[in-house]
A = this chain, B = another copy of it.
Amino acid sequence: MILDKVNSPNDVKQLSIDELNDLAQEIRELIIKKVNTTGGHMGPNLGIVDATIAMHYVFNSPKDKIIYDVAHQCYTHKILTGRKDGFINEKDYYKYTGFTAPSESEHDLFQIGHTSTSISLACGVAKARDLKGEHHNVIALIGDGSLSGGEALEGLDNAATLDSNFIIIVNDNDMSIAENHGGLYSNLKLLRETEGQAENNFFKAWGLDYIFLKDGNNIEKLIKTFEKIKDINHPIVVHIVTQKGKGLKQAEDNKEAFHWILPGALDAQPATNTSVETYTSITSDFIRNKAKQDSDFIVVNAGTPGVFGFNSTIRAELGKQYTDVGIAEEHAIAYCSALAKSGAKPVFTVMSSFVQRTYDQMLQDWCLNKSPMTMLVYWGGISGADATHLCTFDMSLISNIPNMVYLAPTTKEEHLAMLNWAVEQKEYPVAIRVPNVNLISTGIEDKTDYSKINKFKVTQKGIKVALIGLGNFFGLAQEVAKKISETLNFEPTIINPRYISGIDKELLESLKGDHSLVITLEDGILSGGFGEKISRFYGNSGIKVLNYGADKEFTDIVPVKELYSRYRLTPTQILEDIKNLLA
């Protein structure tokens, strides 16, 4: 194996073109085997193998600084920078994260997992170099899908003002996670078709120098191109065309499905078990039905339709009642707010981690204008995810915005009732945290009038202790209640608050009579979250309050079980705390 000889970028520089090509082949095999075992980003990594090898052949990392966008395409980079063990040895498969990590290597500059950051970060790296009078190359590697994000575009605008070495490699594979959308992609297409010669050039229009390479999977040509622009004294865009999923037929043929795969995707038969209902599937069904019934209804997402189950069949079916704005969450909120203000019924679907990109738009474009749009927040909750993709911040972020009604359903029926209310009402900005647990169905239609804002629901009337279980954690409240009943011989009160963004003062006041302790349970950070509002409410009273949820911290691939134990989120721990306090 060529790879046996490669332990650092320096070793790459000693290889012949033939050996580099063999190296690429070996790396592809490792990536395919590992990703099929562990799950992860398949297509993006296979597409960029050759360019990564060429970069390390031409540039001198870590002296030269390579900044990866999203960083989900860094596997080859990791293999070439001393971390191949994590791709060769099955036992080491989990040794390194799936994103760049400065804690792992001096070749990784930033821990990043959201898109569209590389150009701005690289601008700062270049400016620091210039302030210090140092000399080295600064390279941002960004995929076409990431280019549409506001941060990347702000970065392009500022990159053009640098008057020193700055290299932006645009990895153009004509795909975001799903197909690309937006005017800039028409231009990339035009540039591909004209081999970079078209008069209208998106990058030159910003004042950036520009060079085009159509064979972005040809190591020899990549090397020649990179050598040409190495040590350049001004900003330049290197537009390379690559094939997403290159070297794996399934991934080449089905780029969207193989962008990120679950373990065993290559072995598995096509999933046929569509009979199991999930909160995602019932939401998708609701959306399809609503679209059929009401031509004013429209569903919008920002570049991740697969997360919401919007496959190409459903997208085609929705037609003009579907908009994928590309990676552009800020635009999505403003767009939907205006749709709602103009009498349409927009639903914006977004992952908890990515809603973070749009606070000001939620506050100003949407909630200040009281537009009755609906936002569905997916995947919210404590998880074993990478630090870059935690979904614990959304409640703290969203629920403190004035006018916002943020809902947390606990059953299928509640979710559908809230969803329908949100879409049809004309008074409130509404967000719904789609439950991130197994679906629970009561079988009984929920006829609640959700326009009675902040009305909590008592599901069990008891004494002494009141358990307020929010959304995903309503089940935990029930479990704790059971334990109390079994061991302390009384029935506590159980409350489903339903509203994350406000409190039911009347109900909380009424608890004072025969309760001495109120417990809040929320699946997100406590800091700025739901429980603290309950603590504030009872601050002037004799009622004691315990808030359970996540600490304010970045966790990085820590198993959920360990996190629950750390945060004292197991029924046993909570019972223990209750006993201590009642004693």
Bound: A340/B132 CA distance, A: 12
The residue from B340, B365, B581 contacting A112, defined by CB atoms under 8 A apart: B365
Contact stretch, chosen from A178-186, A460-468, A480-488: A178-186
Query: Is A331 interfacial (CB-CB < 8 Å)?
Result: yes
From known contacts A365-B117, A539-B547, A547-B536, infer whether A149 and B159 are also in contact, taking CB-CB under 8 Å. Answer: no
Q: Is the CB of A339 within 8 A of B150?
A: no
Q: Is the CB of A328 within 8 A of B158?
A: yes
Contacts of A128 in B (CB 8 A): 296, 338-339, 342-344
The residue from B67, B336, B399, B539 contacting A545, defined by CB atoms under 8 A apart: B539
Q: Is the CB of B342 within 8 A of A400?
A: no
Number of interface residues of A (CB under 8 A): 119
Query: Is A120 interfacial (CB-CB < 8 Å)?
Result: yes
Contact stretch, chosen from A7-15, A24-32, A526-534: A526-534
Q: Is the CB of A338 within 8 A of B121?
A: yes
The residue from B112, B154, B321, B328 contacting A328, defined by CB atoms under 8 A apart: B154
Q: Is the CB of A123 within 8 A of B338?
A: yes
Contacts of A343 in B (CB 8 A): 128, 132
Bound: A127/B325 CA distance, A: 12
Residues of A402-417 contacting chain B, CB below 8 A: 402-403
Bound: A323/B159 CA distance, A: 12
Q: Is the CB of B208 within 8 A of A320?
A: no
Contacts of A272 in B (CB 8 A): none
Query: Is A310 interfacial (CB-CB < 8 Å)?
Result: no
Q: Is the CB of B368 within 8 A of A330?
A: no
| Nearest B residue to A113, CB-CB | B364
| Nearest B residue to A321, CB-CB | B131
20 residue pairs A–B, Cβ–Cβ below 8 Å? A111-B368, A120-B365, A121-B365, A124-B339, A128-B343, A130-B320, A131-B298, A151-B334, A184-B207, A199-B199, A356-B360, A364-B388, A368-B554, A393-B400, A400-B525, A402-B552, A402-B553, A532-B532, A538-B539, A539-B547
